[in-house]
Amino acid sequence: MHTSVFKKEVIEFLNPESNQNFVDATIGEAGHSFSILEKNKPQGKVLGIELTPEIYRRLKKLNKERLVLVNDSYVNLKKIVRGRNFAPAQGILFDLGLCSWHLKESGRGFSFQKEEPLDMRYSEEFTDRTASAIVNKSPAAEIAKVLRDYGQERFAKRIARRIVEERKRTGITTTLQLVEIIRRAVPPWYRYRKRHFATKTFQALRITVNEELESLEKALPQAQDILEKGGKMVIISFHSLEDKIVKNYFKKQSQEGNIKLLIKKPMVPSREEIINNPRSRSAKLRAAIKL
Question: Residue by residue, what is the 3-state secondary structure of 2-18?
Answer: CCCCCHHHHHHHHCCCC
**Final residue of a domain: which of 188, 209, 230?**
209
Rounded CA separation 223/170 (Å): 45
**Are residues 47 and 183 located together in one domain of the fold?**
no
- Residues 11 and 4: beta-carbon distance below 8 Å: no
pTM over 0.85: yes
Q: What are phi and psi of 235, to 5 degrees?
A: -130, 125
**Are residues 86 and 73 located together in one domain of the fold?**
yes
- Residues 131 and 182: beta-carbon distance below 8 Å: no
Q: Model confidence over 163-173: pLDDT tens digits?
A: 999 999 989 99
| Whole-number Cα distances in Å, 149 to 27, 142, 201 | 27, 10, 11
* Residue 120 φ/ψ region, left for φ over 0, alpha for ψ in the -120 to 50 degree band, beta for the rest: left
Average of per-residue pLDDT across 129-155: 97
Rounded CA separation 55/177 (Å): 28
Q: Which residues contact 144 (CB under 8 A, 6 or more apart)?
A: 156, 157, 159, 160, 161
pLDDT of residue 14: 97
**Are residues 142 and 281 located together in one domain of the fold?**
no
Rounded CA separation 112/103 (Å): 9
Average of per-residue pLDDT across 97-123: 93
Rounded CA separation 153/131 (Å): 16
Inside any domain, residue 122:
no
Q: Which of 150, 202, 204, 146 is nearest to 176 (CA)?
A: 202
The count of domains in the chain is 2
**Are residues 195 and 220 located together in one domain of the fold?**
no
27 forms bridges with which residues in the sheet? Answer: none
User: The CATH number of the domain where 161 resides is what?
Assistant: 1.10.150.170
**Are residues 170 and 192 located together in one domain of the fold?**
yes
Q: Specify the DSSP class assigned to residue 235.
A: E
**Are residues 220 and 182 located together in one domain of the fold?**
no
Inside any domain, residue 112:
no
Inside any domain, residue 156:
yes
Quick check: 160 pLDDT over 80? yes
pLDDT of residue 271: 85
User: The CATH number of the domain where 59 resides is what?
Assistant: 3.40.50.150
**Are residues 30 and 165 located together in one domain of the fold?**
no
**Which pLDDT band, with edges at 50, 70 and 90, does 2 fall under?**
low
Inside any domain, residue 106:
no
Question: Which stretch of 131-145, 216-230, 267-281 has the lowest confidence by average pLDDT?
Answer: 267-281
**Are residues 223 and 94 located together in one domain of the fold?**
yes
Q: Give how far the C-alpha of residue 19 lies from the chain's centroid of Cα atoms, to the nearest Å.
A: 28
**Are residues 17 and 149 located together in one domain of the fold?**
no
Quick check: 3 pLDDT over 80? no
Cis status, amide bond into 53, omega within 30 of 0: no
- Residues 99 and 1: beta-carbon distance below 8 Å: no
Inside any domain, residue 61:
yes
Average of per-residue pLDDT across 212-220: 97
**Which pLDDT band, with edges at 50, 70 and 90, does 270 fall under?**
confident
Quick check: 275 pLDDT over 90? no
Q: What's the mean pLDDT when you consider all of the chain?
A: 94
Rounded CA separation 181/137 (Å): 16
**Are residues 257 and 195 located together in one domain of the fold?**
no
**Final residue of a domain: which of 209, 224, 250?**
209
**Are residues 145 and 78 located together in one domain of the fold?**
no
Q: Which of 243, 256, 228, 229 is nearest to 286 (CA)?
A: 243
Quick check: 253 pLDDT over 90? yes
pLDDT of residue 261: 98
Inside any domain, residue 118:
no
3-state DSSP call for residue 70? strand
**Number of Cβ atoms within 10 Å of the Cβ of 30:** 23
Domain interval for residue 143: 128-209
Rounded CA separation 212/121 (Å): 11
| Structure-derived torsion over alpha carbons of residues 268, 278, 64, 95, reported in degrees to the nearest 10 | 40
Would strands 259-261 and 227-237 be described as parallel, antiparallel, or unpaired?
unpaired
Inside any domain, residue 237:
yes
Inside any domain, residue 39:
yes
**Final residue of a domain: which of 209, 225, 244?**
209
**Which pLDDT band, with edges at 50, 70 and 90, does 76 fall under?**
very high
Quick check: 27 pLDDT over 90? yes
**Are residues 264 and 190 located together in one domain of the fold?**
no
